[in-house]
Structure 1
Amino acid sequence: MLLTITTTREPADDLGFLLHKHPARFQSYDLAFGRARVFYPEVGPDRCSACLMVDVDPVGLVRGKGGGEGLLGQYVNDRPYAASSLMSVAMAEVFRTAMRGRCDARPGLAETPMPLSARIDVLPVRGGEPFLRSVFEPLGYAIEATRHPLDPTFPDWGESRYFSVEISAETTLARLLTQLYVLIPVFDDAKHYFVGEAEMEKLLARGVGWLDSHPQRDEIARRYLRHRPSLYREALARLAPETPAIAEDVEEPSARVEEAVESSMSLNDQRLGSVLGVLRGAGASRVLDLGCGEGRLLRLLLKEPQFREIVGVDVSVRALEAASDRLHLDRLPENQAARIKLLHGSLTYRDRRLEGFDAAACVEVVEHLDPPRLAAFERAVFEFARPATVVLTTPNREYNVTWENVGPDRLRHSDHRFEWTRAEFLAWAEAVASRFGYSARFLAVGPEDPTLGPPTQMGVFARGR
């Protein structure tokens, strides 16, 4: 399996910084099913290419129960040669930092769109070239696809389902890699490992900003989740704008009012899935949920073994009681109960209990603060608590015109003290990042209007070293 990534943005050899792989080195990585190698066939100021080559051990794959069906099919199949979920796993292992959009050596480069192309030899496509184009073209990619015959010496046998595919666009490397990571198994319509709830969360996290509005969204989700009906339905409920939100068992009245505005698109589910994906991708182990409310994010975090210590903080005692009920803290097994703690506290005062964590989430909280208290919040979180990663979401005021019961002149909820436009949030976030030694990147959450932007805007702050 071979994936080749090329850029012509000068200096093109900056691709090495973006991929975190030195162009002068031939690098090798052990995988559960074989070995991945990275090398650069061409390096220059005006053009640079990097190759990811994956060598699959068929016997090792069978030991991992990832072979084909039947005894013979376990050993005789296309897995060593055709791009599949094995390639996606290799990408996630080898290009993990690049997929997160980090480039410490060239600040800002990871967020800069540039001319990029990716060539895959060979890609199995169930659905042929029409499906191939229907997936890539709405994402803005130009496509060159060559279909291979079943056997060149016997042309009457017809065409195979295998293509050599090259896609190109002006985009960021993280976006290109993330979309390939999701879509390669979709074209193959198969995965070599068990698909469960974790895969659904992975799809929702990797699909932030593009999958929810994709015309092939349903088919992508169906194939990615290997036609698991329950997972597919839940994924669509969290992706599809027209799917009503599922009522929860415990809610504060203020939460119900705000979600009534957004329920038509299950926006809260999309927000939480996006935040969870960022926290997971940051490699966090000790996590804060600042303004945890009734504990919806806490419940998702508790399901992930990656998060060894989880702390929810809220100024409302009633919200903490509701969170305790939602999480069934009094009935959790001892090992689970030891992972999670609820704290009563304010986000505008220094609290030494919150220091030293890997990451903090602040989901739809900042807009509830009085503007004069923002400076205190900034210091409490970014100067004193100072987690390595901060994920913050807040409404995009520009999007409010799409809701009849809100409109352009009202805030989304009566308890909101303000709501930022995209430009206002960008200015605030970049100023905070600069003042406290963080870098900031921005993600869209929910269906993105070409003029108004998304309903929710997310800032991801990474602490500098």
Structure 2
Amino acid sequence: MLTSIEVAGTAQVPATDVGFLLYKHPDRVQQFATSQGGATVFFPAASPELCRVVLHVDGVGAKVDRAEGMGRYVNVVPFAASSRLVVVLGKVFGDALAGRCATRPELVDNRWPMTLTVPSVPTGGRCSPAELFEPLGWTVQTSAQPLEPPQWGDSEFVTISLSGVHTVRDALRHLSVCLPVLAGAKHYFVDDAEVDKLQRLGDGWLDTHPRRDDIAAGYVKHVRSLTDEAVMRLAGDVTTAQPADDANAVPERRASLARHRREWVVESLARAGARSVLDAGCGEGRLLAELVTALPGAQIAGVDVAPAMVDRARERLQRWRGTSVWQSSLMYTDPRCRGFDAVVLMEVIEHIEFDRLPTAMSSVFDEMAPRTVVITTPNHDHNEAYGLAGQWRHPDHRFEFTRADFAQWCASVAEEYRYRVTIDGVGEPVEGLGAPTQCAVFTRDDSSPQLNSSEGGRR
């Protein structure tokens, strides 16, 4: 992946001042580790009259789903200028995207004569480069990238050159929104938070764009519910109640599915009267941080198989005493995981190979033997509402339960380990598809278990 930004200086503002905006010194080569590979920023030209900034991403180490490209070992996706490049732009030029410049704040609104060049842009979307960028004041030039050997013709990738007079902030935001729309795809799962991001990046220009609705739909992968919400927000049709005497009140936005999920888990644990909780597969510790405040005085602990996640969770929880986080796995017995009132597996089981799931359940229900077990997992039926019919919701998922399969699996686990189970759902349900997340609360009981079903289980 490669992007260059060339700006021209004026008598008032030399071109090299763009380094202040990008937080990159023109005399240095700077390197960054990103989720999409190693990124390098350098300046092939740097003078008061002309400054050229190049961002190169080597793609090494980028995690690629096989479904995105041609296979496990040969894949063009990490090198294509689409949503993966946007992720790197946010990582490397995040302050410029946000319109922040602590040392020279006046440069944020400076309009520079500039040229952006982006090779290897996929064009599988419903809008052309001209339709997206020309209404924003860019002069657009495109050149097809030929295949090798030449007799095979042109590829589906083009090099785009954009020329115009813009702020650096707006130029980066135009790229961040329009590149995934051009590609017609994103490499990651989208939810409500993506609408928030679109509204933030599109502030001041997207609401009046002639292809606004098409851009909104492409940015959220044509998921109907997200597209409708994005278009309503951009059109100004979304109103929220706020106090009449507070003109500066921030409108309330719909909470993300992840937050709804955490709230449901916390409420379930509170109803169960849990005084000690183990979050198995705690990740970065977001749920742990909420449990500390929601269940005062309770013993809170977390485990994760990934050392990096354990480190992040510990950092998040360092200001709270009495919390513990350590590395462990559900694939073996860990005596430290015993003795808790409740064990939580929030969005965990789908990351376990299905034939190893019985081992994990034995570890939880037999070895740990808590009074309460709380499990959440994606509802595969609901993927159709996200435009993912027949697909898994994340490339790291090993399986996903339909509602019928989840109900059957819960009943068999409850029967085997002598628990009662109640099935529920989290998130806005869709008729015929159910809620996006399906959940279960298992309660240890000596009597014969029975299966109860509420909103999410039998829809």
Normalising by the residue count of structure 2, what TM-score does the alignment of the two structures yield?
A: 0.53
> In the alignment, residue 68 of structure 1 is paired with which amino acid?
A
> In the alignment, residue 53 of structure 1 is paired with which amino acid?
H
| CA positional deviation for 1:302 | 8.8
Moved >3 Å (runs of 4+): 66-70, 290-293, 299-305, 330-339
Alignment partner, residue 45 of structure 1? 48
Equivalent position to 1:170, from 160, 165, 168: 165
| CA positional deviation for 1:333 | 7.9
Equivalent position to 1:120, from 115, 118, 121: 118
The 1:142–1:60 alpha-carbon spacing in structure 2 relative to 1, beyond 3 Å, is closer
> In the alignment, residue 182 of structure 1 is paired with which amino acid?
V
| CA positional deviation for 1:230 | 1.1
The 1:22–1:67 alpha-carbon spacing in structure 2 relative to 1, beyond 3 Å, is farther
Alignment partner, residue 185 of structure 1? 180
| CA positional deviation for 1:95 | 0.3
Q: CA–CA distance in 2 between the matches of 1:2 and 1:106?
A: 27
Alignment partner, residue 68 of structure 1? 67
| CA positional deviation for 1:337 | 11
Alignment partner, residue 25 of structure 1? 28
Q: CA–CA distance in 2 between the matches of 1:18 and 1:194?
A: 31
Q: Deviations over 1:244-303 (max 9, x none)?
A: 547x7xx58x86xx9xxxxxxxxxxxxxxxxxxxxxxxxxxxxxxx7787x853x65798
Alignment partner, residue 232 of structure 2? 237
Q: Check if 1:206 corresponds to 2:208.
A: no
Cα contact 1:25–1:39 (8 A) shared by 2 = yes
Q: Deviations over 1:326-347 (max 9, x none)?
A: x99x9798738958xxxxxxxx
Q: Check if 1:146 corresponds to 2:146.
A: no
The 1:296–1:99 alpha-carbon spacing in structure 2 relative to 1, beyond 3 Å, is closer
Aligned length: 268
Where do 5+ consecutive residues of structure 1 fail to align?
259-289, 306-326, 340-465
After superposition, residues 216-295 of structure 1 pair within 5 angstroms as: 216-240=211-235, 244-245=237-238
**Secondary structure in 2 aligned to 1:14?**
helix
Cα contact 1:67–1:192 (8 A) shared by 2 = no
Q: CA–CA distance in 2 between the matches of 1:5 and 1:228?
A: 32
| CA positional deviation for 1:100 | 1.6
**Secondary structure in 1 aligned to 2:182?**
helix
Q: CA–CA distance in 1 between the matches of 2:185 and 2:206?
A: 19
Q: CA–CA distance in 1 between the matches of 2:34 and 2:82?
A: 15
Q: CA–CA distance in 2 between the matches of 1:203 and 1:41?
A: 32
Q: Deviations over 1:93-126 (max 9, x none)?
A: 0001111222233231111111111100121122
Alignment partner, residue 6 of structure 1? 6
The 1:76–1:115 alpha-carbon spacing in structure 2 relative to 1, beyond 3 Å, is same
Q: Check if 1:106 corresponds to 2:140.
A: no
The 1:60–1:50 alpha-carbon spacing in structure 2 relative to 1, beyond 3 Å, is closer
After superposition, residues 432-451 of structure 1 pair within 5 angstroms as: none
| CA positional deviation for 1:149 | 2.5
Cα contact 2:140–2:161 (8 A) shared by 1 = yes
| CA positional deviation for 1:153 | 2.5
The 1:118–1:67 alpha-carbon spacing in structure 2 relative to 1, beyond 3 Å, is farther
Bigger Cα Rg? 2
Alignment partner, residue 339 of structure 2? none
**Secondary structure in 2 aligned to 1:75?**
coil
Q: CA–CA distance in 2 between the matches of 1:118 and 1:141?
A: 10
Q: CA–CA distance in 2 between the matches of 1:138 and 1:50?
A: 25
Q: CA–CA distance in 2 between the matches of 1:90 and 1:158?
A: 30
Q: CA–CA distance in 2 between the matches of 1:79 and 1:135?
A: 22
| Bigger shift: residues 25-34 or 167-176 | 25-34
> In the alignment, residue 104 of structure 1 is paired with which amino acid?
A
Alignment partner, residue 321 of structure 2? none
Q: CA–CA distance in 1 between the matches of 2:238 and 2:187?
A: 32
Q: CA–CA distance in 2 between the matches of 1:192 and 1:203?
A: 16
The 1:74–1:240 alpha-carbon spacing in structure 2 relative to 1, beyond 3 Å, is farther
| CA positional deviation for 1:55 | 1.2
Alignment partner, residue 267 of structure 1? none
> In the alignment, residue 153 of structure 1 is paired with which amino acid?
P
The 1:41–1:191 alpha-carbon spacing in structure 2 relative to 1, beyond 3 Å, is same
| CA positional deviation for 1:19 | 0.8
**Secondary structure in 2 aligned to 1:116?**
strand
Q: Check if 1:34 corresponds to 2:37.
A: yes
Q: CA–CA distance in 1 between the matches of 2:135 and 2:117?
A: 18
Q: Check if 1:194 corresponds to 2:189.
A: yes
Q: CA–CA distance in 1 between the matches of 2:235 and 2:251?
A: 20
Q: CA–CA distance in 2 between the matches of 1:75 and 1:292?
A: 53
> In the alignment, residue 89 of structure 1 is paired with which amino acid?
V
Q: CA–CA distance in 2 between the matches of 1:336 and 1:204?
A: 31
Cα contact 2:123–2:158 (8 A) shared by 1 = yes
Q: CA–CA distance in 1 between the matches of 2:29 and 2:146?
A: 33
The 1:45–1:86 alpha-carbon spacing in structure 2 relative to 1, beyond 3 Å, is same
Cα contact 1:68–1:75 (8 A) shared by 2 = no
**Secondary structure in 1 aligned to 2:207?**
coil
Alignment partner, residue 19 of structure 2? 16
**Secondary structure in 1 aligned to 2:44?**
strand
Alignment partner, residue 57 of structure 2? 54
Equivalent position to 1:137, from 134, 137, 147: 134
| Bigger shift: residues 10-19 or 131-140 | 10-19
**Secondary structure in 1 aligned to 2:78?**
coil
> In the alignment, residue 184 of structure 2 is paired with which amino acid?
D
Q: CA–CA distance in 2 between the matches of 1:149 and 1:108?
A: 43
| CA positional deviation for 1:67 | 4.3
The 1:127–1:159 alpha-carbon spacing in structure 2 relative to 1, beyond 3 Å, is farther
> In the alignment, residue 171 of structure 2 is paired with which amino acid?
L
> In the alignment, residue 63 of structure 2 is paired with which amino acid?
L
Cα contact 1:68–1:77 (8 A) shared by 2 = no
Cα contact 2:216–2:230 (8 A) shared by 1 = yes
Where do 5+ consecutive residues of structure 2 fail to align?
271-289, 295-459
> In the alignment, residue 21 of structure 1 is paired with which amino acid?
K
